Homo-oligomer: A and B are copies of this chain.
């Protein structure tokens, strides 16, 4: 029986508790939150669960094997470090830490202690992203031309970070998972209208190849949009995450080089065929993700969204901040010792995944 402690019981915490609780062989041992009201209500409703306002009670508890850290970003590092020091595996809310130095430190500590770090990049476990991964890996889309994401809505979800740190971690983790090539630089340009935090931003990721990636994030949009276009040489797709059905549409459309027949002739032609919306697995992503974390602990395998992939996302966020402060100047990203996802190769990650995830 694997014992889980959950630190932070705000918006997302209850989902973490529900999903870990539902797993065979797993027990949510205790929940901590610094808000005493939350803890009192929780204790009243669930007298059988240990509750506390001091996370150290869980971090030091002998029946806790792993900690889920579901608190604001600024607290991740300290909590995760203490957890690792106490020999606990950690499941950390995205983004992993507030700086790449913190993330590097955690990764090193976890390696030394032979513990797992998993970052809660939930989207990687959705049916839609797993289907797209499959389409890209099997070359159905052909060579990737661009990745274009719009993630906008009215209102912020976090009060301590700007719109890039709030919304873009989703996109950065998804893009990194899907595209087996790291961006070499990022440009970000944004503006703040209400307080000092940027509430609108546009991010471009630069690659050494023909890939273009662009991210639009906005807290001031009257409509909610969660749409990603991925254009390949052979096929193109639109992923609209807000649709209940037909989230994913794959277009048999493309561009073709045409033999030039004269100096003024058209050199390219466009091809349009059928559209196809594959059935997308509807299983709750978080359930699959929690299960994957437990499997990794039990089998010693590496999580899909391990500390290194979490660090990559933090590096991209840091590059955005630097570019934002320099009017959009491209900022190089240094992925020391490895290219993004290259050294911890695609193959390795695939092997780590439970069969039903692929």
Chain A interface residues toward B at CB < 8 A: 47-48, 145-146, 148, 150, 152, 154-156, 159, 187, 189-191, 193-195, 199-200, 202, 204, 206, 210, 212, 214, 216, 218-224, 229, 231, 233, 236-238, 242, 244-246, 249, 251-253, 255, 257, 264, 266-268, 270, 272-279, 327-330
Interfacial chain B residues near A155, Cβ < 8 Å: 270
Given contacts A187-B189, A274-B279, contact A148 B218 (CB under 8 A): yes
Q: Are A154 and B253 in contact (CB under 8 A)?
A: yes
* Inter-chain contacts of A237 with B (CB < 8 A): 222
A231 contacts B221, C-beta separation under 8 Å: yes
Mind listing 6 A-B residue pairs with CB under 8 Å? A190-B212, A193-B233, A193-B255, A221-B236, A273-B279, A329-B329
Smallest distance from the beta carbon of A118 to chain B beta carbons, Å? 27
Complexed CA–CA distance, A150 and B238 (Å): 15
* A229 interface neighbour in B222, B246, B253, Cβ under 8 Å: B222
- Are A222's CB and B231's CB within 8 A? yes
Contact partner of A204 (CB less than 8 A), chosen from B189, B229, B236, B257, is B189
Is the beta-carbon distance between A236 and B220 smaller than 8 angstroms?
yes
Q: Are B220 and A191 touching (Cβ within 8 A)?
A: no
Residue of B with least CB distance to A265 = B159
Q: Given the interface contacts A214-B216, A274-B276, does A159 sit within 8 Å of B189 by beta carbon?
A: no
Q: Judge whether B251 and A222 touch: CB under 8 Å.
A: yes
Question: Bound state CA distance, A204 and B329, in angstroms?
Answer: 13
B236 touches A222 (CB 8 A): yes
Collect the chain B residues with CB atoms within 8 Å of residue A229's CB.
Answer: 152, 221-223
Bound Cα distance from A237 to B222, whole angstroms: 7
CA distance in complex: A206, B195 (Å): 19
A220–B216 CB distance below 8 A: no
CA distance A202 to B224 in the complex (A): 21
Give the complex CA separation of A148 and B217 in angstroms.
11
Shortest Cβ distance from residue A24 to the other chain B in the assembled complex, whole angstroms: 14
Given A222-B253, A229-B222, A238-B223, A194-B272 contact (CB < 8 Å): no
Q: How far is the CA of A199 from the CA of B146 in the complex (A)?
A: 11
Q: Which chain B positions have C-beta within 8 A of A274?
A: 276-279
